[in-house]
């Protein structure tokens, strides 16, 4: 009887190894940020300013849906104000936009340490007023057993017109003195996905 149990266990091992393991991949907020370069057009001459979005938070669900909500409190915009009107504080944790894409977790699981792959993700920008799609080539590099670095594989930019179409974003940018911005807003991504 005992021998039969051991044989059954040994027979199960190859089956267990063949079953794909789906990691619960999440962005590490402390090591995930985006920098955006906004060119102001409403002055005497165009001026470019750099802004940070830190503490990126998001995860990849088992069905491969990557959700990345962006809030005002994650930006460096609030620190650039002097005394803030009370209503700005109320907006701090409001989600400005949510980026949604499909990224099969098994693609990350299959990377060996030191190996990279480029995957073009189609991000949907979801807000009450905007429903826009943008294809973004990203480089995924396995840095450790449970760590994958994410950077852009080629230059990336956001649509300045779409940003200004969002009433919350437009209000914040107006408070910073932006009345008109270039439609090309270059961004730099450096993020870390971890398997929790």
Q: Please, are residues 44 and 183 in contact by the beta-carbon 8 Å criterion?
A: no
pLDDT tens digits, one per residue of 55-82: 999 999 988 999 888 887 888 776 666 6
pLDDT tens digits, one per residue of 184-195: 999 899 999 999
Is residue 28 classed as helix, strand or coil in its secondary structure?
A: coil
Residue 163 to residue 53: CA distance in whole angstroms = 14
Residue 54 to residue 77: CA distance in whole angstroms = 11
State if pTM tops 0.85: no
Could you tell me which residue, 54 or 78, shows the higher pLDDT?
Answer: 54
| Band of pLDDT at residue 11, cut at 50, 70 and 90 | very low
Any residues with CB less than 8 A from the CB of 13 and at least 6 apart, and which? none
Residue 156 to residue 184: CA distance in whole angstroms = 9
């Amino acid at each position: 009887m005992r021998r039969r149990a051991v044989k059954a266990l040994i027979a199960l091992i190859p089956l267990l190894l063949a079953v794909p393991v789906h990691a619960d991949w999440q962005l590490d907020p402390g090591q995930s940020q985006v920098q955006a370069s906004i060119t102001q057009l409403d002055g005497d001459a165009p001026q470019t300013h750099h802004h940070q979005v830190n503490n990126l938070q998001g995860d990849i669900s088992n069905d491969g849906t990557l959700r990345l909500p962006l809030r005002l409190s994650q930006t460096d915009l609030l620190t650039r104000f002097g005394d803030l009107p009370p209503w700005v504080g109320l907006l701090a944790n409001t989600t400005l936009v949510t980026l949604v894409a499909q990224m099969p977790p098994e693609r990350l699981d299959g990377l060996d340490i030191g190996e990279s792959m480029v995957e073009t993700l189609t991000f949907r920008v979801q807000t009450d007023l905007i429903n826009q799609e943008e294809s973004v080539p990203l480089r995924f590099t396995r840095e450790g057993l449970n760590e994958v670095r994410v950077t852009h594989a080629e230059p990336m930019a956001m649509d300045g017109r779409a940003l200004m179409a969002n009433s919350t974003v437009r209000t914040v940018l107006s408070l910073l003195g932006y009345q008109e911005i270039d439609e090309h807003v270059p961004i730099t991504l450096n993020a870390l996905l971890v398997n929790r």
